[in-house]
Amino acid sequence: MPSPVLYGATYSVYTRIVRLALAEKGVAYRLEEVDVFAPGGPPPAHLRRHPFGRIPAFEHGEVALYEAGAIARYVDEAFAGPPLQPDDAAGRARMAQIMSLLDAYTFRPMVYGLYVELIDRPARGQATDRAVVAQALPQTERCLAALADLMGAAPFLAGPRLTLADTHAAPMFALLRWPAPGAALLARFAPLLAWWRAMAARPAMIATRFPGEPAEGCDS
């Protein structure tokens, strides 16, 4: 079987989610860059892989997938390496709950509401929409409170060991702590901050940093 191919971009949160799962499993793969934000829209070849024109998409032999959570589960189950899902039904359900919470409630305020408005738009010479930021801050805080509650005293989001919940969350947190208001919000949740720092120090996270992403703490 040939090595898997991941179609995505180094700036993409959802591409990084899959890259983290591949790296934590120790799976060699090829990243084929696809720019879905190109002026003409996603390339036609990519629309055949992903009918919604998003990234990532994934191929491994005959297996072709899109949707990061599904790809990450496939990577965990199809390859050798440390298991990235809990052994028990309750643990797997908790992991899936956190991944769903991140997709449904967290990604938009954390990434578009804070990172894009406060870092990305100014870097492009565009004005920050303060109303969007003002709305995103309490929405993000609610997500952090829910995650901290679900995490309890465990070192990882879904229990005692690293799971796909952690690899799903970490790229979003990398963008959250980039603008100062995001970092300040995260600092109010001590267990989540400790989790983030441990995640940021993992070789898989360091190897997949977003372009221009500031290093965390002392690892630079």
Ligand X SMILES: N[C@@H](CCC(=O)N[C@@H](CS)C(=O)NCC(=O)O)C(=O)O
Contacts with ligand X by CB under 6 A lie at 12-14, 36, 54-55, 67-69
Choose between 68 and 151: whose C-beta lies nearer to ligand X: 68
Cβ neighbours of 99 (radius 10 Å) = 23
Closer residue to ligand X in complex, CB, 67/129: 67
Write the DSSP string, 29-46: -EEEE--TTSTT-S-HHH
d(CA 119, CA 211): 13
Task: Please identify the residue of the shown chain whose CB is closest to the bound ligand X.
Answer: 54
The Cα 81–Cα 22 span in angstroms is 10
Q: Which is nearer to ligand X, 23 or 111 (CB)?
A: 111
- Minimum distance of ligand X from residue 100's CB (angstroms): 11
Task: Please name the helix (run of DSSP H) or strand (run of DSSP E) that holds residue 197, with its range, or none.
Answer: helix 190-200
- CB nearer to ligand X: give 18 or 189: 18
Where b means 16+ CB within 10 Å and e means fewer, 64-78 reads ebbbbbebbbbbbee
Closest separation between CB of residue 47 and ligand X, Å? Answer: 12
Minimum distance from CB of 45 to ligand X (Å)?
15
Min dist CB 14 to ligand X, Å, is: 4
- Please, which residue, 15 or 140, has the CB nearer to ligand X? 15
Rounded to a whole number of angstroms, the minimum distance from the CB of residue 36 to ligand X is 4
Whole-number Å distance between alpha carbons of 9 and 40: 17
